[in-house]
């Protein structure tokens, strides 16, 4: 069974086609079904082509998650260029964009993220992702946290990312409405920027 006819494509287009086919497999059958051999079959290409693009199953999962992440980051950065520089506005947009990212990516995003927990290559990639998110939040929130020591702000951003992940999981499971999850995360962000002396 193939999703598309096998035809010669430029390398970048072939990679995009393989990633879209891989996302379809995850959506329909879950991450356990996603292998390079099955991907090649579904995409109508030979196995060596799939291996040439991704190398390993880990490489494929990483590329798939990175594609989702890159798309979402572009949207978030664009939105922040138009946001007033007030804490409540920034917190609201962070909450909304965090939940919107997981809604638009679908439950497949959490499934791919879970599948990334395994070997060393995937663990390293996940750590780099989390560090990137934490640094992005720290840079956005630093102007509102002048009273906080830099290391404390960093720890609070780690906590915000953890809370956002937990809320987004509940949202994708249908236990929390997106607007409520976004509002809760925004309130946590505003609260986290206070120098409460604790």
For residue 43, give the 3-state DSSP assignment. helix
> Is the pLDDT reported for residue 2 higher than 50?
no
What are the pLDDT digits (tens) for 24-52?
Answer: 999 899 888 999 999 999 999 999 999 99
- Distance of alpha carbon 172 from alpha carbon 111, whole angstroms: 11
Cβ atoms of residues 145 and 153 within 8 Å: yes
What are the pLDDT digits (tens) for 80-95?
Answer: 787 778 999 999 999 9
- Distance of alpha carbon 94 from alpha carbon 53, whole angstroms: 34
CA 58 to chain centre: 16
Cβ atoms of residues 97 and 76 within 8 Å: yes
Question: Model confidence at 6, in pLDDT bands (50, 70, 90)?
Answer: low
Cβ atoms of residues 101 and 72 within 8 Å: yes
């Amino acid at each position: 069974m193939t999703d598309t006819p096998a035809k010669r494509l430029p390398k970048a287009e072939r990679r995009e086609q393989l990633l879209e086919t891989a996302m379809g497999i995850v959506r329909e059958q879950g991450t356990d079904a996603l292998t390079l051999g099955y991907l090649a079959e579904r995409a109508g290409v030979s196995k060596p082509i799939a291996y040439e693009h991704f190398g390993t199953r880990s490489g494929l999962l990483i590329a798939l998650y990175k594609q989702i992440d890159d798309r979402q980051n572009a949207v978030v950065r664009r939105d922040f260029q138009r946001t007033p520089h007030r804490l409540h506005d920034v917190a609201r947009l962070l909450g909304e964009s965090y939940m919107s990212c997981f809604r638009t990516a679908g439950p497949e995003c959490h499934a791919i993220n879970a599948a990334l927990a395994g070997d060393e290559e995937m663990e390293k990639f996940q750590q780099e992702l989390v560090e990137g998110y934490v640094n992005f939040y720290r840079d956005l929130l630093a102007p509102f946290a002048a009273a906080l020591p830099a290391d404390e702000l960093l720890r609070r951003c780690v906590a915000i990312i953890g809370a956002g992940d937990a809320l987004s999981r509940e949202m994708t499971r249908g236990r929390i409405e997106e607007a409520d999850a976004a509002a809760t995360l925004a309130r946590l962000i505003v609260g986290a920027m206070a120098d409460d002396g604790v």
